[in-house]
A and B are shown apart, each in its own frame.
Chain A
Amino acid sequence: MSEILLENVGKVYEGGGYRVVALAGVNFRVGDGEMVAITGPSGSGKTTLLNIIGLIDSPTSGTYRYGGRAISEYTPAELAKLRNKAFGFVLQDFALIERYNASQNIKVPLMYSDVPAKEWGGRIDNVLSMVGMSGMQKRLPSQLSGGQRQRVAIARALVNDARCILADEPTGSLDTKTGNEIMEIFSGIRDSGKSVVVVTHDAEVAAMCDRTVRICDGVLGKDVKYVDFCT
């Protein structure tokens, strides 16, 4: 079971005489095989929420449980392992290593996993085929279009069989057609039983998810339907 559960989670940034409440009393749950969109205006706390879910930021209050265990109980090494095994990240700027080719970029999570090296090649070919990038293993990110880069990032997120894909504005840098293709890939991932959390301020992208939650000034609203959200 890989349920994500946030209970009354808050995040406050402090320092140098400022205090910003990024999240306040957030209660949020993502189950297996769910595709959830987090929407809201810029600076509302969407990305902070995603980062906390993905264990690259920590809450200042409340409890975050993954698979029933509070994250605060994990050691830094266990958190790194969890980031490696449980989550796959897809970011707006793709977060690819420029000097690595597509195959090498996809290989990164495998290097920190328990997957035997002899299986890496097969896994990489498999995920590249899933995202429609077969035959492009040797291409450097600079030789790929935005859509292709995002596909490589998705392939990297999938290669270690992560239970949850966390996508921060995954279509933000892409044209509508390519964006739709990326979302179709996410739908396919959801259909395979994994959960997908997408941060977006694009209503069309949100509409493609199973449910949408809106966040404003760090406060999470009730789940909204796409139509409600637009109105």
Chain B
Amino acid sequence: MNAAMMQLKFLIEDIRGSLPQFLFGLVQIVVAMLLLCYIFQQATVFSDTMAKLRELSGGGEIYHIRMLAEDSQISAVLDDESRRGELGEFMAYVDSYPVRKFIVNDSVSIGFSQAHKPFDRIGDRDDESGMTFITPVFASPNFFEVFRVSGDFDSKRVREIFESCAAGDDAPAVLGADFRPYYKAGDIFEDDRGTRYRVAGFLDKGSFFVAPYESAKAHYLDGTFIAPIASLEPNFTTLISTCFVTDDTSALDEIVSRSKEMGLLPLGYDSFSYQAENSRRRMLNEIMTMATVMGLVFLFALIGMVTYFIRFIQSRLREFSVLMLCGAREGEIIGRIAMQISAILLVSIIAALAVFGLSASVLYTALVGGAYSACVLAYPVLVFKRTPIVRILRSNSR
């Protein structure tokens, strides 16, 4: 009989022979591995986020403007038609101010009618209106270089078309990876306000950016799209979505003073470093808490698996010694146990792949799982390498 077939036959026999214990151990390991994978994923996100933060603030400190007013006061100014001109003048002043800026606004939900089937699958469906809502990212043309977001498009070209986009034009849109099966470059889709978007390209799967104005939260872009900020009507929302990269706060003080002089809203500004530090602490705490829980689960799973295999080996020791008496090599017996361990590892890796997809986290988890399996396999290796057949046979003879 083919050696691999024989091992497979033994594997099925062994699992059948102790199915409840095997399944219990398997569930423990799968849970532990999924937790481990989740932690790896979070750690990767944390590490990527920190890297992005370092890149973002590489040119100086990042500040963003904050409105120091009640909602009613803000609404009163923004809804006052007579002040629209002043507002436009102020926005133009901010826009022309010679400080490196980038704008990211992801606070506007856009509705899409049923005609756009892909949005049904990707966005949030509102049964009452029959619409599906997506929250796009409206950004300044330098978004892609600032946040190092890439895809199948030419960044320079996209920047140019973002820059040349004016109100009323078809807005260029760079779509998240989830849209890729439904659209191709050049396609046009339209939102419920009548704004038309022309597909300029697709982002890489798993693309994200770190929003400086929102406690350095990582925003994933697979299920959304990026359009120029120019396709939104300029208003104060744009202002508070503007980040200023500078080490000299006098420019910001001037913007605040200017708003005051013009009788618009009282403004202030926040440093991003402080938020980033808080964010770093929060993420680290989350990871540490999860790691502690996972560590305990993993420890119990390890104890459970080792106990299972000790019991399994002890209960089959006589059988193994008979097989060795009849010509089985130690390696074949150890291989039989290794098959079970490998089966458990394989199931847990498949579970991790099913939940998290193919990623570095799953690869790390598989590596840890491999090391873990080696630990579990140490016991049978010690038993069979160190104990002569005759002693195994004697210690189990009845």
A117 at the interface (CB under 8 A from B): yes
CB contacts (< 8 Å) of B393 on chain A: these are 56, 91, 95
Q: Is the CB of B326 within 8 A of A83?
A: yes
CB contacts (< 8 Å) of A117 on chain B: these are 1
* Residues 307-349 of chain B, each 1 if its beta carbon lies under 8 Å from chain A, else 0: 0000000000011011111111110100000000000000000
Q: Is the CB of B328 within 8 A of A112?
A: yes
User: Pick the contact of A99 from B17, B321, B325, B326 — CB < 8 Å?
Assistant: B17
Q: How far is the CA of A57 from the CA of B327 in the complex (A)?
A: 14
The contact sample of 18 A-B pairs, CB cut-off 8 A, is A56-B388, A57-B388, A57-B389, A57-B390, A76-B329, A80-B327, A80-B329, A83-B327, A85-B327, A95-B322, A95-B325, A99-B319, A108-B322, A108-B323, A108-B326, A111-B6, A112-B327, A112-B328
Closest Cβ of chain A: how far from B278's Cβ, in Å?
Answer: 62
B157 at the interface (CB under 8 A from A): no
Q: Is the CB of A109 within 8 A of B327?
A: yes
Q: How far is the CA of A31 from the CA of B332 in the complex (A)?
A: 32
Knowing A51-B390, A56-B390, A111-B6 are in contact, say whether A93-B326 is a contact too (CB < 8 A). Answer: no
Closest Cβ of chain B: how far from A132's Cβ, in Å?
Answer: 22
Chain A 83-141 residues near chain B, CB threshold 8 A? 83-85, 89, 91, 93, 95-97, 99, 108-109, 111-113, 117
Looking across the interface, which residue of chain A has its beta carbon closest to that of B319? Answer: A97
B398 at the interface (CB under 8 A from A): yes
B395 at the interface (CB under 8 A from A): no
* Residues 372-398 of chain B, each 1 if its beta carbon lies under 8 Å from chain A, else 0: 000000000000000011100100011
Q: Is the CB of B325 within 8 A of A83?
A: yes
CB contacts (< 8 Å) of A156 on chain B: these are 326
A27 at the interface (CB under 8 A from B): no
CB contacts (< 8 Å) of A227 on chain B: these are none
Closest Cβ of chain A: how far from B105's Cβ, in Å?
Answer: 69
CB contacts (< 8 Å) of B1 on chain A: these are 111, 117
CB contacts (< 8 Å) of B388 on chain A: these are 56-58
Knowing A99-B17, A111-B6 are in contact, say whether A89-B325 is a contact too (CB < 8 A). Answer: yes
Closest Cβ of chain A: how far from B14's Cβ, in Å?
Answer: 11
CB contacts (< 8 Å) of B323 on chain A: these are 108, 112
Q: How far is the CA of A2 from the CA of B90 in the complex (A)?
A: 105
Q: How far is the CA of A68 from the CA of B328 in the complex (A)?
A: 24
Chain A residues within 8 Å of B, Cβ to Cβ: 51, 54, 56-58, 76-77, 80-81, 83-85, 89, 91, 93, 95-97, 99, 108-109, 111-113, 117, 156, 160
Residue picked from B318, B325, B393, most chain A C-beta under 10 Å? B325
CB contacts (< 8 Å) of A84 on chain B: these are 326-327
CB contacts (< 8 Å) of B398 on chain A: these are 93
* Residues 67-104 of chain B, each 1 if its beta carbon lies under 8 Å from chain A, else 0: 00000000000000000000000000000000000000
Q: Is the CB of A96 within 8 A of B390?
A: no
Known: A83-B326, A91-B397, A99-B319. 6 other contacts (CB 8 A): A76-B329, A83-B327, A91-B393, A95-B393, A95-B397, A156-B326
Q: Is the CB of B326 within 8 A of A109?
A: yes
User: Pick the contact of B326 from A51, A76, A112 — CB < 8 Å?
Assistant: A112
Chain B 262-317 residues near chain A, CB threshold 8 A? none
Looking across the interface, which residue of chain B has its beta carbon closest to that of A52? Answer: B390
User: Pick the contact of B329 from A57, A77, A160 — CB < 8 Å?
Assistant: A77
Closest Cβ of chain A: how far from B15's Cβ, in Å?
Answer: 14
Q: How far is the CA of A48 from the CA of B269 in the complex (A)?
A: 89
CB contacts (< 8 Å) of B326 on chain A: these are 83-84, 89, 108-109, 111-112, 156
Top 8 nearest A-B pairs by Cβ distance? A84-B327, A112-B327, A109-B326, A80-B329, A56-B389, A57-B390, A108-B326, A56-B390
Looking across the interface, which residue of chain A has its beta carbon closest to that of B328? Answer: A112
Q: How far is the CA of A105 from the CA of B334 in the complex (A)?
A: 20
Closest Cβ of chain A: how far from B129's Cβ, in Å?
Answer: 65
Q: How far is the CA of A137 from the CA of B6 in the complex (A)?
A: 21
Looking across the interface, which residue of chain A has its beta carbon closest to that of B391? Answer: A57
Q: How far is the CA of A8 from the CA of B374 in the complex (A)?
A: 42
Q: How far is the CA of A84 from the CA of B1 in the complex (A)?
A: 14
Q: How far is the CA of A39 from the CA of B324 in the complex (A)?
A: 26
Closest Cβ of chain A: how far from B398's Cβ, in Å?
Answer: 6
Looking across the interface, which residue of chain A has its beta carbon closest to that of B388? Answer: A57
Q: How far is the CA of A54 from the CA of B393 in the complex (A)?
A: 13
Q: How far is the CA of A51 from the CA of B398 in the complex (A)?
A: 18
CB contacts (< 8 Å) of B322 on chain A: these are 95-97, 108
Q: How far is the CA of A113 from the CA of B323 in the complex (A)?
A: 12
Q: Is the CB of B397 within 8 A of A93?
A: yes
Q: Is the CB of B325 within 8 A of A56?
A: yes
CB contacts (< 8 Å) of A99 on chain B: these are 17, 319
CB contacts (< 8 Å) of B327 on chain A: these are 80-81, 83-85, 109, 112-113, 160
Closest Cβ of chain B: how far from A107's Cβ, in Å?
Answer: 9
Q: How far is the CA of A109 from the CA of B330 in the complex (A)?
A: 15
Closest Cβ of chain B: how far from A102's Cβ, in Å?
Answer: 14
CB contacts (< 8 Å) of B318 on chain A: these are 95, 97
Closest Cβ of chain B: how far from A100's Cβ, in Å?
Answer: 9
Looking across the interface, which residue of chain A has its beta carbon closest to that of B322? Answer: A95
User: Pick the contact of B324 from A80, A91, A111 — CB < 8 Å?
Assistant: A80
